[in-house]
Chains A and B, each alone.
Chain A
Amino acid sequence: MAATTTPTTTPPAASRTTTSLPGRRRQLAFVYGWLAPILALFAVFSLVPIGIAVWLSLHRYNQLAPVSPFIGLRNFTYAFTDDPAFLNSLAVTGKYALVAVPLNIVLSLAVALALNHITRLRALFRTVFFLPAIASAVAASLVWVPIYDPQAGWLNAVLNLLGLSGKSWLGDPGTALWSVMVTSVWQDLGFNVIVFLAGLQAIPLDFYDVAKVDGAGVVSRFRHVTLPLLQRTFVFVFCLTTIGYLQEFTRIQVMTAGGPLRSSETVVLHIYQRAFGDFQLGYATAMSLILMLIILVIALVQMRILRSRWEY
């Protein structure tokens, strides 16, 4: 147990064993006296809900219905066989994550590399790219809605200026999801830029000097020095961004409410509508557990792949 605190625990561990009995008792009183209320709160608002989630997913629980019969795994099978809207939301979420995650990573890595390379004004640029991340997702979404407006919107005005025809970006099933994605990447980029920048600045410059002496060009230095040494940061950013985008809700709800024709209805939005629109809390919880399993599997696979490719 001492080993979990610090590597050099020999003297303190020794002194701890010699602590007098009343002293030891006082310590335990402190430990349990403070941990008990904290862990009790944690149990009520974290552990109990997990138990309730499992219970709900196995019952036909509708807040408006008088009884909630046990139905085994039928909520789960129903989701895949009788709820095309759920399958659609899975596809929408998948599409969203598959495009937005790489877009976010590539752009934020590019910005971080550029910022790492310039000598002046780095803090100013970093601030500009980070500002959207400070705003709430609701405010960010509301700011973008008038930009996409088909009549008085800025995007169409600029396109018209370039001789192109605009469209109803959020009102067209073909573009609604992509439009929200642009807002998301705009807002989230700053987070990853900062994390990548920290990772880049941790790479010792000597590695680049050695590579240069060996005749490595810019591209080769990036591939053989930057990427491998950035691997931990990369895995971290990749997993967290993916997990975040698989749970996208706010921007979708504010900008399109899942429409038009469910073309931008993500899984969490579908869960929300089933739970608080139709009060099918049992079924909605089952869907949230399916989403959790998907997230866990994807996170594990990502960690595996990214580790094995760059471990050396």
Chain B
Amino acid sequence: MASPLTSRVPAASPTPASTSAAARGGRPRRRFGGPGQIVLYVVLSIAAIGFVAPFVLMVSNSLKTAQEIIQVPPSLLPEHPTFANFAFVLQNSPYLIWYRNSLLVAVAVTALTLFTSSIAGYIFAKFAFPGKNVLFVVLLSTMMIPAPVLLIPSYLVMNFLHLLNTLWALVVGSIVSAFGIFLMRQFIAAIPDDLVDAARLDGAGEFAIYWRVILPLTGPALAALGIFTFLGSWNDYLWPLIVINDQDKMVVPLALTYFNSQHAQRSDLVMAAATMAVVPVCVVFLFFQRRIVNAFVLTGIK
């Protein structure tokens, strides 16, 4: 985990490798074809089909009728495709409210985490003040504590604050991230101090320097942190499971298991609910693919 940025950013970029290969010209790995390559393509294609098959079966099952879903052997594609399952899910469960809750929580957590991480990261990177090292070490050391340890104590804290069974319980505990502060500090430390000093000479206030000089330069790091935070919040299950009881306060992962337990014998309905949970996220992913992959490469973390 040491210096993920300074060493990874330039190294991870594929360009140096490909240009040096092109410069030398005629390297076998740059050419299309060859018996070895064909074998690789065949193997990768078989693996890839295996990888998407569960999703295909999910969508296929979601379009089947209640009779067809229990048919033995199962059919690959629905004989009479119908959207009735989707209609049933939307009519008989507050699915849109669950979706809105998830979106609300994930957006709030992400926006606030990006703000607290970048401003604290800036402060730890560019200011000298008494107590700095102690605070930073304390912050970092909490990153080594696995989440299950904090689960029960955090539940008691939420209980004490009367936040149990509210969406606040899903937000307030997640808006300061030790990892986020660490990541932003590493990134901001590489920005030249002269920029900050020049802005100061021009008479800019301290917050204005953060907002107008530092923040615009942290784009890639913010994008990476934002993607992780959003996905983490959107997909979180254990914490909502503990703090949320009411059906209309559930978030999507929690709601899916709730829905599953209500309709345990109706796999067609469960697959329709799952399809609605998975497909929008996958579509968004396809749009932001490059950014997301870069985020993984940038931080080297998952």
8 Å CB contact of A1 from B14, B132, B278: B132
Contact flag A247-B146 (CB < 8 Å), given A4-B189, A127-B286:
yes
Q: Indicate if B44 sits at the interface (CB-CB under 8 A).
A: yes
Q: A154 contacts the other chain (Cβ, under 8 Å)?
A: yes
A152 to B61, CA, bound (A): 11
- DSSP class of A's interface residues: helix, strand, loop or mixed? helix
Does B282 contact A131, Cβ atoms closer than 8 Å? yes
A245 to B11, CA, bound (A): 29
Write the chain A residue with the least CB distance to B143. A46
**A295/B157 contact (C-beta < 8 A), A1-B128, A15-B197, A46-B176 known:** no
Listed stretches B87-95, B214-222, B251-259; interface member:
B251-259
Indicate with 1 or 0, residue by residue over A1-23, a CB within 8 angstroms of chain B CB atoms.
Answer: 11011100101100110010001
Query: Which residues of A193-229 are within 8 A (CB) of B?
Result: 194-195, 198, 201-206
Given the contacts A35-B120, A146-B267, A250-B237, A136 and B29 also touching, CB distance less than 8 Å: no
Confirm or deny: A58 has a beta carbon within 8 angstroms of a beta carbon on chain B.
no
Is A53 touching B302 in the complex (CB atoms < 8 A)?
A: no
Interface bin, chain A: 35 or more
Which of A130, A191, A205, A295 is within 8 Å of B146, CB to CB?
A: A295
- For window 255-302 of B, CB contacts with A under 8 Å fall at 256-257, 260, 267, 270-271, 274, 277-278, 281-282, 285-286, 289, 293, 296-297, 300-302
- Which partner residue on chain B sits nearest A9 by CB separation? B193
> What are the interface flags for B74-104 relative to A under an 8 Å C-beta threshold, 1 for contact and 0 otherwise?
1000000000000000000000000000000
A130 to chain B, nearest CB (A): 7
Asked if A201 contacts B12 (CB within 8 A), the reply is: yes
Give the contact stretch, choosing among A81-89, A113-121, A172-180, A304-312: A113-121
Asked whether, in the complex, the Cβ of B176 is within 8 Å of the Cβ of A142, the reply is: no
A71 interface hit (Cβ, 8 Å): no
Contact at B142–A50, with CB atoms within 8 Å? yes
Cα separation A93 to B286 with both chains bound (whole Å): 34
Do residues B70 and A152 form an inter-chain contact, with CB atoms below 8 A? Answer: yes
A276 at the interface (CB under 8 A from B): yes
| Pairs across A and B, CB under 8 Å, 27 listed | A1-B132, A30-B123, A39-B176, A45-B173, A49-B157, A119-B30, A119-B37, A127-B286, A131-B55, A131-B282, A131-B285, A135-B277, A138-B253, A142-B270, A143-B278, A152-B69, A157-B74, A194-B297, A195-B296, A202-B12, A205-B20, A206-B20, A250-B237, A254-B257, A285-B149, A288-B146, A291-B148
